[in-house]
C-alpha cells in the first residue's frame, strides 16, 4: 500500500483545524511530541469545514473557523520534516452541532427543496480543493469523507466524486465509514483501501472484527481503522464514541481499552493499522494529564501502550519486508 512501511501506525493531528492554531511554536511542538511519544509513522492531518445545518447545500470551507490553505501546507510540511507519511483528511461538520452522519436529503431531487445534486456539487468542490493540495504537497493518502452515514447510499455520486479526485490526485484514496457501517457501503471498490471508525465497546472487539472481516474478504481489499480511540473517562470503554459522556477522569480506562483493541486486532493480519483519535494542535500541559478526560493520551498511561505497540509493529513490518 505504501513504499515506506506496510503498517499504518498513525495518529490524527490538529482536529478540528481552527484557524490560527496550526502554525507557530505550540503547533510544531505538539506534532514533535506526537512523533516522539507514540512512535508513529503516519499522521492524519484533519480539518473541519462547516455547512450551516444538516440540510444546507453549501460547504463554507474558505471561511473561518476553518484553517487556511497556508496552515494546511505548513502542517503537512512539518509532518514530512518529522519523517511521517501523511493522510490529508478534510471533513464537513454542521455549524449548528448536528453530527455530519445526519446530512440527508430526499432521494429524488424535488423543486423548492434542498437537493443531493446541489450538496454533492459543493462537497466535490470542497474535496477537490484539498485533493489538489494533497497532490501538491506529496501526501501519501487522501480521505474523501468521514462518517457520513446518510450519504453512503448515494453510490453514483460517490463514484463520480472519487473519479474526479483521481483526475487531480495520484496517491492512495480512502473513505472513513462510521462504526458498524462497513458492510453497508457498495462502492468500496472505487477506493484503494477500506477504512472505518473503530469505536467499539471494550468487550465487543472480537465480534466486530469477525463482522468486518467478511466485508474485507468480499471486496478483497486492504483495511485499516482511520479512527479509533477512547476518552480517559470512567464508562467510556463501553461507549468510546460518546465524547460527551459524563464520568470521572480515568487513565486506566483508556489504557485498558487500547490493550483490548490492540490484542484483538493483532490476531487479524488483515488489520493493517490505525490512525488513532486524536492529538490536538494545542496540547494541555503534561502536568494536567491526570485530570484531562479527552481522547488524547499525551502524558497518560495509554501513551506508553501506544508507543510500545507501534514500535513492535514497525519492527515486525520491517523484518517481513526484509525477508521478501
CB 283 within 8 A of CB 301: no
Say what the pLDDT of residue 220 is.
98
- Per residue in 250-303, pLDDT (tens digit) is 999 999 999 999 999 999 999 999 999 999 999 999 999 999 999 999 999 999
CA distance 258 to 200: 11
Q: Is 299 left (phi over 0), alpha (psi -120 to 50) or beta?
A: left
Pairwise CA distance, residues 23 & 169, whole Å: 25
Report d(CA 169, CA 129) in Å as an integer: 10
Cis preceding-peptide flag for 16 (omega within 30 of 0): yes
Collapsing DSSP to helix, strand or coil, 44 comes out as: strand
Tell me the C-alpha to C-alpha distance, in Å, between residue 49 and each of 91, 130, 311.
Answer: 6, 11, 34
Could you write out the DSSP letters of every residue in 279-297? E-SSPPPGGGGGG--SS--
Residues above pLDDT 70, as percent of the chain? 98
Closest CA to 44 of 228, 182, 259: 228
What's the rounded Cα separation, in Å, for the pair 63 and 67? 8
- Dihedral angle over CA of 16, 18, 19, 22, nearest 10: -70
Report all structural domains of the chain as residue ranges with CATH numbers, in order of start.
8-323 (3.20.20.80)
The C-alpha cell that represents 125 in the structure block: 468542490
Q: Which residue(s) pair with 269 in the sheet? A: none
Read off the C-alpha cell for 116: 443531493
- The separation between the first and the last C-alpha atoms of the chain, rounded to the nearest angstrom, is 15
Q: Copy the grid coordinates of residue 188.
A: 468500496
Tell me if 50 sits within 8 A of 59, measured CB to CB: yes
The pLDDT tens digits of the residues spanning 208-227 come to 999 999 999 999 999 999 99
- For residue 285, the number of C-alpha atoms closer than 13 Å in the C-beta half-sphere is 2
| Mean predicted confidence (pLDDT) in 177-203 | 98
pLDDT of residue 54: 98
Averaged over 35-55, what is the pLDDT?
98
The pLDDT assigned to 320 comes to 80
- Give yes or no for a contact between 39 and 11, defined as CB atoms under 8 angstroms apart: no
Whether this prediction's pTM lies above 0.95 is answered by yes
Report how far residue 84's alpha carbon sits from residue 77's, in angstroms, rounded to the nearest whole number.
10
> Contact 202/260 with Cβ under 8 angstroms?
yes
Q: How far is CA 139 from the centre of its chain?
A: 14
pLDDT band for 2, please (50, 70, 90 cuts): very low
Q: Which residues of 112-145 are buried (b: 16+ CB within 10 A; e: fewer)?
A: eebbbeebbebbbebbbbbbebbbebebbbbbbb
d(CA 307, CA 54): 38
Cα separation of 258 and 241, whole Å? 14
Q: Which helix (H) or strand (E) holds 11?
A: strand 8-13
pLDDT attached to residue 319: 79
C-alpha cell at 298: 499525551
Amino acid at each position: 500500500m505504501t513504499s515506506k512501511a506496510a503498517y499504518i501506525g498513525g495518529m490524527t493531528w490538529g482536529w478540528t483545524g481552527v484557524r490560527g492554531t496550526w502554525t507557530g511554536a505550540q503547533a510544531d511542538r505538539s506534532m514533535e511530541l506526537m512523533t516522539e511519544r507514540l512512535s508513529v509513522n503516519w499522521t492524519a492531518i484533519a480539518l473541519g469545514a462547516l455547512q450551516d445545518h444538516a440540510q444546507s447545500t453549501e460547504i463554507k470551507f474558505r471561511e473561518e473557523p476553518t484553517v487556511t490553505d497556508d496552515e494546511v501546507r505548513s502542517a503537512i510540511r512539518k509532518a514530512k520534516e518529522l519523517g511521517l507519511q501523511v493522510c490529508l483528511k478534510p471533513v464537513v461538520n454542521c455549524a449548528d452541532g448536528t453530527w455530519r452522519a445526519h446530512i440527508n436529503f430526499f432521494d429524488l431531487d424535488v423543486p423548492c427543496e434542498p437537493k443531493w445534486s446541489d450538496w454533492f456539487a459543493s462537497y466535490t468542490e470542497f474535496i477537490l480543493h484539498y485533493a489538489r493540495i494533497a497532490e501538491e504537497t506529496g501526501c501519501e493518502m487522501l480521505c474523501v469523507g468521514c462518517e457520513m452515514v446518510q450519504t453512503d447510499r448515494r453510490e453514483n455520486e460517490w463514484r463520480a466524486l472519487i473519479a474526479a479526485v483521481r483526475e487531480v490526485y495520484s496517491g492512495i484514496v480512502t473513505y472513513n465509514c462510521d462504526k458498524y457501517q462497513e458492510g453497508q457501503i457498495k462502492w468500496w471498490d472505487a477506493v484503494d483501501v477500506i477504512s472505518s471508525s473503530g469505536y467499539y465497546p471494550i468487550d465487543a472487539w472480537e465480534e466486530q472484527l469477525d463482522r468486518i472481516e467478511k466485508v474485507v474478504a468480499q471486496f478483497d481489499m486492504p483495511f485499516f481503522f482511520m479512527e479509533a480511540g477512547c476518552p480517559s473517562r470512567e464508562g467510556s470503554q463501553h461507549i468510546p464514541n460518546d465524547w460527551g459522556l459524563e464520568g470521572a477522569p480515568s487513565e486506566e480506562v483508556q489504557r485498558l481499552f487500547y490493550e483490548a483493541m490492540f490484542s484483538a486486532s493483532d490476531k487479524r493480519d488483515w488489520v493493517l493499522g490505525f490512525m488513532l483519535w486524536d492529538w490536538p494542535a494545542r496540547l494541555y500541559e503534561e502536568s494536567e494529564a491526570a485530570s484531562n478526560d479527552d481522547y488524547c493520551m499525551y502524558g497518560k498511561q495509554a501513551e506508553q501502550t501506544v508507543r510500545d505497540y507501534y514500535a513492535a509493529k514497525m519492527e515486525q513490518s520491517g523484518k517481513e519486508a526484509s525477508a521478501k
